[in-house]
Structure 1
């Protein structure tokens, strides 16, 4: 037996309702981790679970699990994503995957009951804590703690720019739990692509087969505070001027690497996304700037070469401006290759549903990346209009979301009934 599709109307009603939590004037959402807006989405998740009589667990880092038991004592196939957003972010990133997972799980649970058959594994839906990392760095925190890649106590001590710790923020909204984490047999996630490939090629579903190599640099520029009017230019040690040059270095490092096939495609991308200035006064030369640089490529060697070049160039800037610049490597993530059997499962499901499909890599990080380290993991994409994400203009159509919901439902059904079980052994 293969499971039927969930109600498209019910799913879309819930999706567009959740998009009102933290809604912005430009049709986005601002629902950063462990804020009041995030609490609204978490309360909605908990209500969905309670209405269906499922078990709800919340672990010590704020991950939420909706658990449906088919086989007492068996591990769970988890499906889901995250409900937190970037500041002034989009309403699709993450939330689509959680809401689709809840509706897929409801359909699978009904069909398992109706079939009278015996599933191999239980089924759970997860809302991971702080995937975005906009308020608390690093990103992909909840799933990385779950997978044993980050230390829970260390992550609970992380503080936002206002000095609030993860533990304090979770306590404030009532979502630092102490429930045991479920044993897992597999994981599946559906997400907007956050790129243009599927839209450009007219493809319905992307079956993710690998992720890019990622690493960040934590950069602290330490100058000397002084008066903007009374201090001679030659006597200044301006941290902001030096930091501005570092930003340009990070941006321009990508021009040193070009695709060998002549396609003109990016082989490395870079950015500075967080930049804080002290004391940030209009009449004070900055004494300290903290910034985070992000380097990503399909080639670890290219990232390493870019990183080494930046370190040398940043040292030269420090010498030029007679200031100190401290650079620390962090949040380094190796390339992850997703199970070939999982890619084949997505291709089979898509064919059964009459959907077009292609293998695709992910340049962005997702909760599926740490989960793929511990259990067989399936990652799927649906098209993103213009490839835009992490902003209010982010958009995917209702039709594409519903198609992806159908695919996730079939994948969950297959995994609950033993698909990818051999990869777990």
Structure 2
């Protein structure tokens, strides 16, 4: 590694570890849910990074932020980015690493263009997508999906959190309900921690994502009857939470009916009403998440669960409404992008392997509208969405090097003829 590269890596690490102090939790994670004051602080840092370099900083109506560098007037942009929002008590690497890497890669590309003297075919911009995590506002991957046209902007602005605050009002409250036009996109590249154990176990530096898993969620509303926990006979109760508990277990148990690890599922969110210690719950609302590399497995599990949920409703004499939502087909990333990643890694001397992503990312909707490259760096123990999430500094620095080189190739026309 050259002295210049080492210095650039040190600058990146200083910024990464500084941003990790914003919304920091005692156990080393972060709490920066979408459109909160902590999210606003990271946005201000993003804007400052760009503004002091003379880049244009814009925000669209769904809160996506762009830090743009124009080389060729009127040309589309190669976007590099990820998200700065976090899960509740989440990890400091998920999303934020990709945004900070994108800013530094963009800065290096801009410096290189000035030194090179050639005018690139495309411009470059770093992007911070709004509400990728979906912890406060569902569904997840919201900002990039609105950008790609796969979610309706007005409907997403009307989405509310658990306290009834809308996306529109939350963004306005932190000063990021934008009005700026969105850049025309020529291509997109994103780097992210793997959130799995493959790269670490195989001691490989970079993952080149070739496809995403099929995913869908079930929105389940259990409607019972409120009554006194001490005065109501057991035979007379219509307990929504008991029924919901049965459903939670069924969502986990259905995975055992398929080959090991072919299906992953969980209930990650539940609300109970009235949530009083002396009242039998009248309502429980939960969200089940089903994912597999094989869409038929997800659909089979979904059908079995719906049949069993109907049986629980009959058995408990209550009403259960189930709604399919946030269904995402398998996305396959362009072969040209995979080959470009492999070439860049070979040139830089880094090991690389192709792999799937089980998790969703902003690259999934972007891949529908522009040639897209998705990269992974190793995650220690594969842990994510918790404070123990960790990736080594050296692996992050390598990822920035690879992202920079891929961005450089893309602004000069690599992948321009590819389709997603």
Q: TM-score, normalised by structure 1?
A: 0.97
Q: How does 1:24-43 map to 2 (within 5 A)?
A: 24-43=25-44
The residue that corresponds to 1:284 in the other structure is 279
Please tell me whether residue 407 in structure 1 is matched to residue 408 in structure 2: no
Distance 1:106 1:58, change over 3 A: same
The answer to whether the 8 A contact 1:63-1:127 is kept is yes
Distance 1:76 1:253 in 2: 44
Residue 131 and residue 270 in structure 1: after superposition, are their counterparts in 2 closer, same or farther (change >3 A)? same
- CA-to-partner distance for each residue in 1:116-168, whole Å, 9 max, x for gaps? 11201000100000000000000000000000000010001100001111001
Q: Equivalents in 2 of 1:360, 1:9: separation in Å?
A: 29
Rounded to whole Å, the distance in 2 between the matches of 1:108 and 1:239 is: 56
Q: Alignment partner for residue 340 of structure 1, among 317, 320, 335? A: 335
Q: How does 1:387-402 map to 2 (within 5 A)?
A: 387-402=382-397
Q: Is the 8 A contact 2:334 2:419 kept in 1?
A: no
Q: What is the aligned partner in structure 2 of residue 262 from structure 1? A: none
Gapped regions of structure 2 (runs ≥ 5): none
2:370 corresponds in structure 1 to 375
Q: Does 1:112 align with 2:107?
A: no
- Separation in 1 of the partners of 2:36 and 2:253? 35
Aligned residues: 417
CA RMSD of aligned residues (A): 1.1
Distance 1:6 1:189, change over 3 A: farther
Other structure's SS at 2:418 match = helix
The residue number in structure 1 matching 2:129 is: 128
Task: Give the C-alpha shift of residue 95 in structure 1.
Answer: 0.2
Query: What is the alpha-carbon distance in structure 2 between the residues aligned to residue 268 and residue 112 of structure 1?
Result: 46
Q: Is the 8 A contact 2:103 2:126 kept in 1?
A: yes
Q: Provide the C-alpha distance between the structure 2 equivalents of 1:179 and 1:5, rounded to a whole number of angstroms.
A: 37
Picking from 349, 352, 362, the partner of 2:347 is 352
Q: Secondary structure at the match of 1:423?
A: coil
Give, in whole Å, the separation in 1 of the partners of 2:228 and 2:5: 69
The answer on 1:44 being equivalent to 2:45 is yes
Equivalents in 2 of 1:402, 1:360: separation in Å? 21
SS at 2:103's partner residue?
helix
Residues 4-403 of structure 1 aligned to structure 2 (within 5 Å)? 7-258=8-259, 265-403=260-398
Mark the CA change 1:38 to 1:47 in structure 2 (over 3 Å): closer, same or farther: same
Distance across 2 between alignment mates of 1:205 and 1:13? 22
Q: Is the 8 A contact 1:5 1:406 kept in 2?
A: no
1:38 and 1:296 map into 2 onto residues whose CA distance is: 28
Query: CA shift at 1:377, angstroms?
Result: 0.2
Q: Distance in 1 between matches of 2:149 and 2:400?
A: 29
Structure 1 residue runs without a partner (length 5+): 259-264
Instruction: Supply the distance in 1 between the matched residues of 2:334 and 2:285 (Cα, whole angstroms).
Output: 39
Deviations 1:189-246 (A, max 9, x none): 0000000000000000000000000000000000000000000000000000000000
Q: Distance in 1 between matches of 2:84 and 2:245?
A: 33
1:337 counterpart SS class: coil
The TM-score normalised by the length of structure 2 is 0.98
Contact 2:158–2:168 at 8 Å: present in 1 too? yes
> What is the CA distance between 1:330 and its match in structure 2?
0.2
Q: Contact (CA 8 Å) 1:57, 1:179: kept in 2 or not?
A: yes
Q: Is this contact kept in 2: 1:368–1:379, CA < 8 A?
A: yes
Tell me the distance in 1 between the aligned counterparts of 2:167 and 2:117. Answer: 44
How far does residue 282 in structure 1 lie from its aligned partner after superposition?
0.1
Deviations 1:91-114 (A, max 9, x none): 000000000000000000011011
Shift of 1:424: 5.0
